[in-house]
Amino acid sequence: MIDKLISIAQGAINHLFDKTSSLLSKIISEHGTSSFELPDTAYGIPLIYALEGIKITTVEEIKDFMNKIQQLDSQTLSYLYLAEIYLTLQYIRGEEPEKHDKGQYYGFLGDTVQRTLGVQLVDGRIPAVAVLIGKANYDNISKIVKELQEKKILTFLIGSIAEDFVTNSDKTGFEVYVVPVGTKIEQTVYVIDWAVRSSLIFGGQIPGQKDAILEYVRNRVNAFACVFGKINESAVATALSAIYFGIPVISDQDLPELKISEIADYLLLTSEKNYEKTVKKALETRGLKIVVEKPPIPVSYGPAFEGERIRKEDTFIEFGGQRTPSFEWVRMKNISEIEDGKTEIIGTEWKSRYEKGGQMPLGIVVNVAGKKMHKDFEPVIERQIHSFINEAEGLWHIGQRDINWIRISKMAKEAGISLEHLGVILASMVKARFKSIVDKVEVYLYVDEKDVLTLKDEARKEYKERDQRLAKLTDEDIDTFYSCLLCQSFAPKHVCVITPERPGLCGAFTWLDARAAYEIEPTGGNQPVEKGELIDPIYGRYSGVDSYVKKHSGGEIETINLYSIMENPMTSCGCFECIIAVTPEANGVMIVNRGYNGMTPIGMKFSTIAGMIGGGVQVPGFMGVGVNYITSRKFLKGDGGIKRIVWMPKELKERIRESFQKRAQEEEVPDLFEKIADETVCEDVECLVDFLARVNHPALQLDSIIK
């Protein structure tokens, strides 16, 4: 069977080789053999770089590699490399990504979005990746896509079905888990090289170690493909490409089942003609069991809907957003004070006011109680109100505390969403997601302006007391830190240590979050780390942390310093929010955030630096961190603290302006913020040094950062 498929695929390989060679000749005649760069990647032409260890950055190098393709033993790799080169050449000519007047094709999938989704891929919020390829009835495919969204599966669309979605749906993009890649079947390689890049970004795999990378993708990337419509030579070649990486293929055509035991223990090629059973068959084939938590509401529910935007013209009713008084408040109560599962709306004529639509005041009070509940967990649960509401299709939430803003769409109202359902969602999901610490929960929704204003004042007092209590919490105050091992599913050597003054590098976990997560799931990815003996108070080295890190990195990392970038810094997985990098000429450090695509003063972009430090390795002089660590009192304490910061992108500076200026005051450098350069000042180190001298930056007076 496999030999027959390979024989069929050979026709597609020959055709693609001729097509690519012709396009390459045109580009050489038009543009010469100059350098090029695919958007937002540090890996040249990524699949070739990963598997062959050859980083291609010029047209001349493409020409040289084309001569090697015909000598490859693997026809599958020949097809994939040709597809990747062909699409790269189209990028050089400006023909990729494809254009559509009604929406967006994504084309090449960059490193930034992969790192952004990293946390969701490892913590289960995105349990799998689906690739839908080919042509089928839009109604059938849209039902399949909706089911995948409800199961939290990230879905890539390729072929006619991608065009159908761009044309007919305004709900596409990574934020809603539905990504139209493009209309050409060759673009399947974008998804395959996206999967392969995860081995470099998160797994610390070395380019050129083909077997190790293949094993990584086959064992750690939960993916499957569904191919619709007529099977031709290109479809066969594409299916074989997926199978090569252990990705099962489900077709709506008659096909004999195929299992290749040396690649996977599950079926790799099978068919399912009933579209209502496609997703079920795909999950069974891949061996995935996905349990979906859904409150009893009349619309779809899941993280895929969290990125949905509700425009003003699509809004039925809204609350807060400076339009009406609003707030949300989680309060811990005694168990005897709570009626479990109760949801009550308090206000006059609220039903008629809701049915009228428009705007209403809204105060959300969630009372919780439990034997393991701590008052410090209130803000942890409160922050999740954002996700709990947003995960309902047609509901939209931004902000928190007393600056929240909620919208209910006309579509959701027509589907039957009522005001009571806001309470039902919160009561159901708080109990479901925090079941280990919350035994009882009740929700009150206040809709009269007088009540909302009175309770908002009470809530503000509690917010302030809570902030003051938590702001005083230091690493010295507690005996236990927490680890985050979630990313070890992708980065086996990485161990993140989270302290009150050093949040997780992904930005998703504070010490309180990790503590709550441990209470919720004692065997989960967040585990207690006994501090042990304080070995070095300046660098932040503890004997208990060293022991824990050595054990859980498999002996790869023997010691880490929590407050230093130069001496045994903490490892990085790949989904860090920012990178700190030493800039020796400036005697300081620069910080660049994920999403900034410009050049930095050390001569590398974010993606290039990220490619050097991910995968759980220690790289003195470079370190991945969360944004909030920048304004921590323990920020690079062993290396000079915030006085070392000499450059940041403008967007990052503005994001942390208020908290940074407060820290600068504490460090007696009140004008430091204005002395930190950004890309509007310079992007090269010579200009940076001139600027720092001109403004008398304090880093220039510190001891040398290189010792």
Could you read off the pLDDT of 577-604 as tens digits, one per residue?
A: 999 999 999 999 999 999 898 999 999 9
What is the rounded CA–CA span in Å between residue 170 and residue 54? Answer: 39
The pLDDT assigned to 462 comes to 93
Instruction: Express each pLDDT in 590-648 by its tens digit.
Output: 999 998 989 999 999 998 999 888 878 899 999 999 999 999 999 999 999 999 999 99
Which pair of structure tokens corresponds to residue 102? Answer: 């009604």
Relative orientation angle of helices 188-201 and 210-220, to the nearest 10 degrees: 100
- 3-state SS assignment for residue 538: coil
* Higher-confidence position of 445 and 269: 445
**pLDDT band at 32, cuts 50/70/90?**
confident
The pLDDT assigned to 309 comes to 87
The pLDDT assigned to 365 comes to 98
Q: List the single range of 51-65, 110-124, 203-217, 455-469 with lowest mean pLDDT.
A: 110-124
Expressed in angstroms, the distance from the first to the final Cα of the chain is 63
Which of 570, 652, 584, 648 is CA-nearest to residue 613?
570
Instruction: Express each pLDDT in 280-291 by its tens digit.
Output: 999 999 988 887
Task: Annotate 117-136 with DSSP letters as a single string.
Answer: THHHHHHSSS--EEEEEE--
**pLDDT band at 86, cuts 50/70/90?**
very high
* Higher-confidence position of 495 and 258: 495
Record the pTM: 0.78
Averaged confidence pLDDT in the chain: 92
The pLDDT assigned to 205 comes to 87
The residue type at 296: P
The pLDDT assigned to 262 comes to 66
**% pLDDT > 70, the chain:** 98
**pLDDT band at 2, cuts 50/70/90?**
low
Instruction: Express each pLDDT in 381-408 by its tens digit.
Output: 998 999 999 999 999 999 889 989 999 9
What is the rounded CA–CA span in Å between residue 583 and residue 585? Answer: 6
The pLDDT assigned to 115 comes to 85
The residues, any chain, with a CB within 8 Å of residue 567's CB and separated by 6 or more, are 539, 561, 620, 638
The pLDDT assigned to 261 comes to 67
Q: List the single range of 181-185, 256-260, 266-270, 426-430 with lowest mean pLDDT.
A: 256-260
The pLDDT assigned to 319 comes to 97
